[in-house]
């Protein structure tokens, strides 16, 4: 009888040890690092909330060691039907339990996105949209909607001046409406009382500052010359002279690669052709940078009314006070173009 009791007791102990080992192993799988990565990686869940895609991304992007453990935890925690959109960062030390909790609780990590050196409205929608969940099409639709633009104080042409090129931090799944509201707040933050006062003394509105800055930035690639060029155009505006800015003609004909502006280009009937239409064009010809707008607000005061590129193609500019001097500079540049067979 004693032997039988000892045998049963030993069997029970072995079962307990075995179950404990299994439980310990499973517990270890739950709390130990679950991903074979050396650097943090991002997992994106969009509005489709595709659980199958998430599992695929965990394998291909995060290199999960044991997908079955993640799936069992997801089922036990009722995650599959409670997915939340966002950008989620998987770290090398993260366990499967921590990962499921992060996804279930929507503990996403903000993105830092940047846009600069953008020329057209279509480029703007593409550059921003590809970095956020709503995508280029939704942004393009909004900034081409007259009522939406009007609600922010712009029209479909000037709305691009609301976007101040910079690096921003926000959640990847931000709604398109919240995003536009954020951009308007950043615009209002940029236009401090000091900047508004400087614009008023020129006098230009904030939108007009953006328009002029866009022309300045297309006119010269040298930031050091921005304020000089801005001063020249402001001189022409004050004298009610046509700006005669070649970049606006390039915008009007839709070809920024032009090296020479010919008479056929100057005949283009467009409000952006500043040879035919006095004053500023109706909107920016690119998305102006902060440096460009500040150069306009802090323009160099001088007497120059004319400019042309230097004949050595250095990117420098020849400025002139008189038309006679300007024509001499222009002739040098034209001769250099001819010599180099630039048409």
Domain chopping of the chain, boundaries = 31-109, 112-190, 193-302
Q: What sign does the CA torsion over 32, 35, 41, 46 have?
A: negative
- Fold adopted by 31-109: Dna Ligase; domain 1 (3.30.1490)
Whether pLDDT at 312 is above 80: no
> What pLDDT is attached to residue 18?
46
Which is higher by pLDDT, 9 or 146?
A: 146
Task: Render pLDDT for 169-214 as a digit per residue (tens, 0 to 9).
Answer: 999 999 999 999 999 999 999 999 999 999 999 999 999 999 999 9
17's CB contacts (< 8 A; 6+ apart) are none
**pLDDT tens digit string along 206-258?**
999 999 999 999 999 899 999 999 999 999 999 999 999 999 999 999 988 88
Closest CA to 36 of 8, 62, 6, 9: 62
Confidence of residue 12 (pLDDT cuts 50, 70, 90): low
Residue 25: pLDDT band with limits 50, 70, 90: very low
Q: Strand locations in 106-174, DSSP E?
A: 111-115, 166-170
Q: What is the pLDDT of residues 270-310, one digit of tens each?
A: 999 999 999 999 999 999 999 999 999 999 999 999 988 88
pLDDT category of residue 150 using cuts at 50, 70 and 90: very high
Residue 7 confidence (pLDDT) above 70: no
Per-residue confidence at 23, pLDDT binned at 50, 70, 90?
Answer: very low
260 versus 174: the higher-pLDDT residue is 174
* DSSP letter for each residue of 165-202: -EEEEE-TT--HHHHHHHHHHHHHHHS-HHHHHHHHHT
Asked if the model's pLDDT at residue 11 lies above 60, the reply is no
pLDDT higher for 94 or 14? 94
Per-residue pLDDT, 309: 80
Q: Where would I find the beta strands (DSSP E) of the chain?
A: 41-45, 86-90, 111-115, 166-170, 306-309, 317-320
Using CA atoms, how far residue 19 sits from 16, 25, 107, in Å, is 5, 10, 34
Give the tens place of pLDDT for each residue, 49-100. Answer: 999 999 999 999 999 999 999 999 999 999 988 999 999 999 999 999 999 9
Note the pLDDT of residue 1. 53
């Amino acid at each position: 009888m004693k032997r039988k009791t000892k045998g049963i007791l030993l069997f029970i102990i072995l079962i307990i040890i075995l179950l404990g080992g299994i439980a310990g192993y499973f517990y270890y799988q739950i709390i130990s690092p679950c991903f074979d990565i050396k650097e943090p990686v991002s997992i994106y869940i969009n509005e489709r909330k595709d659980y199958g895609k998430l599992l695929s991304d965990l394998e291909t992007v995060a290199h999960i060691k044991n997908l079955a453990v993640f799936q069992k935890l997801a089922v036990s925690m009722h995650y599959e039907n409670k997915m939340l959109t966002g950008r989620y960062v998987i770290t090398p030390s993260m366990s499967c339990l921590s990962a499921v909790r992060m996804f279930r609780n929507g503990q996403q990590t903000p993105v830092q996105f940047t846009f600069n050196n953008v020329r057209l409205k279509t480029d703007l929608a593409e550059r921003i949209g590809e970095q956020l969940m709503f995508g280029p099409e939704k942004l393009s639709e909004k900034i081409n909607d007259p009522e939406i633009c009007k609600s922010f104080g712009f029209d479909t042409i000037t709305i691009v001046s609301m976007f101040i090129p910079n690096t921003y931090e926000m959640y990847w799944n931000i709604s398109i409406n919240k995003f536009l509201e954020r951009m308007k707040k950043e615009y209002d933050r940029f236009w401090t009382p000091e900047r508004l006062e400087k614009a008023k003394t020129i006098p230009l509105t904030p939108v007009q500052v953006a328009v002029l800055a866009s022309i300045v930035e297309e006119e010269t690639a040298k930031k050091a010359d921005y304020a000089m060029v801005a001063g020249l155009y402001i001189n022409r505006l004050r004298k009610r002279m046509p700006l005669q800015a070649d970049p606006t003609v390039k915008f009007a004909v839709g070809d920024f690669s032009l090296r020479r502006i010919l008479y056929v280009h100057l005949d283009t009937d467009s409000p952006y052709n500043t040879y035919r239409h006095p004053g500023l064009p109706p909107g920016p010809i690119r998305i102006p940078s902060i440096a460009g707008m500040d150069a306009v607000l802090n323009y160099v005061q001088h007497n120059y009314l004319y400019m042309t590129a230097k004949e050595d193609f250095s990117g420098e500019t020849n400025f002139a006070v008189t038309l006679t001097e300007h024509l001499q500079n222009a002739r040098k540049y034209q001769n250099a173009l001819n010599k180099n067979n630039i048409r």
